[in-house]
Structure 1
Amino acid sequence: MVQSVSVDPDRESEPFIELDPTGRYGRYDELLGYGAVKKVYRAFDQEEGIEVAWNQVKLRNFMDDQQVIDRLYSEVRLLKTLKHKNIIALYSVWRDENRNTLNFITEVCTSGNLREYRKKHKHVSMKAVKKWSKQILKGLNYLHTHEPCVIHRDLNCSNVFINGNIGQVKIGDLGFATIVGKSHSAHSVLGTPEFMAPELYDEDYTELIDIYSFGMCVLEMVTLELPYSECDNVVKIYKKVISGVRPKAMDKVKDPEVKKFIEKCLAQPRVRPSASELLQDPFFNDINDDDENDDEEYTSNNFWHA
């Protein structure tokens, strides 16, 4: 999970702290966000004239944990294969041997993550929440129908980013994502406990765990409350999840249509709908896609410098 840091709107022209090997991307000293594994800085693409995000991992912090390093490389390799307007795009990746860092340049979303954006803007219509939800589903549908299928495994509101000026959301932070074969089944226990589907704990699951997490995202967007916030430790959350006890936040959802939609997402795997099926749900009947080409895959003039 990446924490956001506030941005100073009155910044003057400033020097780059670091350049990528090609000289195209320059990193500023301003931190946009940080997590357990990486820091994200504001940066600039001099060729395209656009702001970007410079993700930097100090590999020396993980020299004793090859799994973390492998996962990071896997995130970057995976991101390079994905091109969809509701998935954060990757432009460049390289390892700096001198500084012992892994660096990758991604597109930046102007308003940070959806959790903090929603907290900042408390008065939001159900229509807006539905628009965000539909875009998340489109991103998930792209991942799940990708060849091979991609399971995100850590979908939550802090891993969904937003361009608030146009209401566009994008799924990011694919560090826990996995590629699965034709069986569409995976076996590692990973994720954020409040958003993890019960079958994930059984270590036998499919891409439908992302739908469960998506349901919890909708619940958080509607109630402004983290699921299972009534629990003060992970064990209590685990016990409630595996026994099918819903978060107390569900009691705050007064609209029966919204509650029914969330319950569909949290249903047992055998009856839980796919992203594609949910996109056809009556829940979205009053949401018209603004862009006629909304369902076409996002394409861009990305340049890879691996």
Structure 2
Amino acid sequence: MLLSSLTHSCALQVNQGNMPGIQSTFLAMDTEEGVEVVWNELLFTDKKAFKAHEEKIKTMFEQLVLVDHPNIVKLHKYWLDVKDSKARVIFITEYVSSGSLKQFLKKTKKNHKAMNARAWKRWCTQILSALSFLHSCEPPIIHGNLTSDTIFIQHNGLIKIGSVWHRVFANALPDDLRSPIRIEREELRNLHFFPPEYGQKADGTAVDIFSFGMCALEMAVLEIQTNGDTRVSEEAIVRARHSLDDPNMREFILSCLTLNPDKRPTANNLLFHRVLFEVHSLKLLAAHCFINNQYLMPENVVEEKIKELDLNMVMAEIRREGRPGAQWRYSEVSFLELDKFLEDVRNGIYPLMNFAVSRPHALPRALSQPQEDTQKAKTPTPEPFDVETRKVVQMQCNMELNEDKTQWHLTLLLILEDKLHRQLSYDLLPTDNSKDLATELVHYGFIHEDDCEKLANFLENAFHKYRSPPL
């Protein structure tokens, strides 16, 4: 659907490639979904070499499209364009509206001396959530190019890391096709993000932890001063570290910057560091359960429930032997803050996965197999329709009889987790049932397969409500 409804303007060039080395990136519009995306072009001048590895490239991109995490820039679609003496890969990635973290920090530096501690915690948590996801794959996925230029921020505070697949992409391509991929270290201003062991031995997940530590330091102080040749010196880094007032923040960052890679903490361990533990896990779990099941509740359920509460009622109590207990009443809770917190959870600001048991994620086979294994690199048979990856957060429907009162017309409104609306209409047949309709919507890519049973139950209740004769 996205391919047929995509338009792009060459006048609107943007600096948000999903991989370094992309020759051109343009802002594009998916006219069907009504969202802006990024159009990326990767040019190969050796058409003959490209054709020899075309199946491998296809297989790799087929699998990359499947990767989905709220704090990773999404790769939506791709296609190959082979003509004349050149070949190119065009791929469509998510557009992050407010630009890179580097740009944001520069703007903030004009009005503030340091980053707000709460915002710093939220950003670190989201970046680590994405790294924990990548590192828990089997085998682990190494980002290898994490800098403040490859981290992006949306207007609502959601952090997304880009260039995630640059290392995998570069390593997967044969030598005769690697020329379009830029070497990560060619920019002097970003050299300090790479650990001392970089390039001297096989990369491990500790490479990303060091880079994250530098990003966390830069976020805390807003800018690490460079010297004349645009490189960040060791002295500037030391000054930045010593300028941190919070001892927990300083210890957290220094643990990431340990010179010995074997002694650096993991992304999952860092998520539980005391400096990041802003929200109690029980509160976070409750919020995620509420958001995930919101389709079962009225849109203003929080507001209505608050009206029914006795503000003097005790909501929690700690009992102590030999002395008075501590009580927490509803009057001590700011309900405006609750609405804002739920909105942040809905937008992905507080990811849940760092509190879950760490489970390895299967690495797409096209990325984990050796280069010479061409037999297993066949392009999988594509599905006839797009797979919907967004969940439904709210459902509404209406049923009306046609003019001759012989057939029901169903109008279904689905509100997806990214706030986009999808309205569907259908003339019901006497043989139609809710389960078959929901299954068909999954098949055609209108809803996520996890929402199939929920929608079937929702439609069944609607059919019963409208079709049942009045008492």
TM-score (norm 2): 0.49
User: More deviation in 78-87 or 126-135?
Assistant: 78-87
Counterpart secondary structure, 1:174: coil
Q: How far off is 1:100 after superposition?
A: 3.5
CA distance in 2, matches of 1:72, 1:233: 36
Is the 8 Å Cα contact of residues 23 and 43 (structure 2) preserved in structure 1?
yes
- Counterpart of 1:88, as a letter, is V
Is the 8 Å Cα contact of residues 108 and 222 (structure 2) preserved in structure 1?
no
Tell me the matched-pair count: 264
Q: How far off is 1:232 after superposition?
A: 3.4
Counterpart secondary structure, 2:141: strand
Unaligned runs of 5+ in 2: 172-182, 290-350, 355-387, 392-444, 446-471
CA distance in 2, matches of 1:37, 1:265: 30
- The match for 1:218 among 204, 213, 216 is 216
Counterpart secondary structure, 2:261: coil
> What is residue 176 of structure 1 aligned with on the other side?
166
Is the 8 Å Cα contact of residues 195 and 210 (structure 2) preserved in structure 1?
yes
Shift of the 109–65 alpha-carbon distance from structure 1 to 2, 3 Å rule, reads farther
- The match for 1:88 among 73, 77, 96 is 73
Q: How far off is 1:230 after superposition?
A: 3.8
Q: How far off is 1:301 after superposition?
A: 4.6
Counterpart secondary structure, 2:14: strand
Matching of residues 1-306 of structure 1 within 5 Å? 22-29=3-10, 30-33=12-15, 36-60=21-45, 76=61, 79-98=64-83, 100-122=87-109, 123=112, 124-164=115-155, 166-178=156-168, 191=185, 192-226=190-224, 229-230=226-227, 232=229, 247-267=238-258, 268-287=260-279, 292=288, 294-295=351-352, 300-301=389-390
User: More deviation in 282-291 or 103-112?
Assistant: 282-291
Counterpart secondary structure, 1:281: coil
CA distance in 2, matches of 1:64, 1:223: 50
CA distance in 1, matches of 2:124, 2:204: 21
Shift of the 26–49 alpha-carbon distance from structure 1 to 2, 3 Å rule, reads same
Is the 8 Å Cα contact of residues 90 and 104 (structure 1) preserved in structure 2?
yes
CA distance in 2, matches of 1:146, 1:110: 29
Is the 8 Å Cα contact of residues 88 and 107 (structure 1) preserved in structure 2?
yes
Task: Spell out, residue by residue over 1:16-47, the C-alpha distance to the aligned partner (whole angstroms, 9 max, x if none).
Answer: xxxx8x42211122011166533221111123
CA distance in 2, matches of 1:210, 1:94: 30
Query: CA-atom RMSD, angstroms?
Result: 3.7
Counterpart secondary structure, 1:96: strand
Q: How far off is 1:250 after superposition?
A: 2.0
Unaligned runs of 5+ in 1: 1-19, 181-188
Counterpart secondary structure, 2:80: strand
User: More deviation in 141-150 or 280-289?
Assistant: 280-289
CA distance in 2, matches of 1:287, 1:63: 53
Task: Spell out, residue by residue over 1:130-169, the C-alpha distance to the aligned partner (whole angstroms, 9 max, x if none).
Answer: 10111000000000002331000000111011112x1100
Shift of the 205–278 alpha-carbon distance from structure 1 to 2, 3 Å rule, reads same
Is the 8 Å Cα contact of residues 75 and 176 (structure 1) preserved in structure 2?
no
Structure scoring higher RCO (CA < 8 A, sep ≥ 6) equals 1
- Counterpart of 1:24, as a letter, is S
CA distance in 2, matches of 1:75, 1:250: 41
> What is residue 317 of structure 2 aligned with on the other side?
none
CA distance in 1, matches of 2:49, 2:194: 24
CA distance in 2, matches of 1:207, 1:300: 28
Counterpart secondary structure, 1:270: helix
Q: How far off is 1:296 after superposition?
A: 5.0
Shift of the 231–215 alpha-carbon distance from structure 1 to 2, 3 Å rule, reads farther
- Counterpart of 2:147, as a letter, is N
TM-score (norm 1): 0.73
Bigger fraction of residues in helix? 2
Q: How far off is 1:193 after superposition?
A: 2.0
Counterpart secondary structure, 1:200: coil
Is the 8 Å Cα contact of residues 39 and 90 (structure 2) preserved in structure 1?
yes
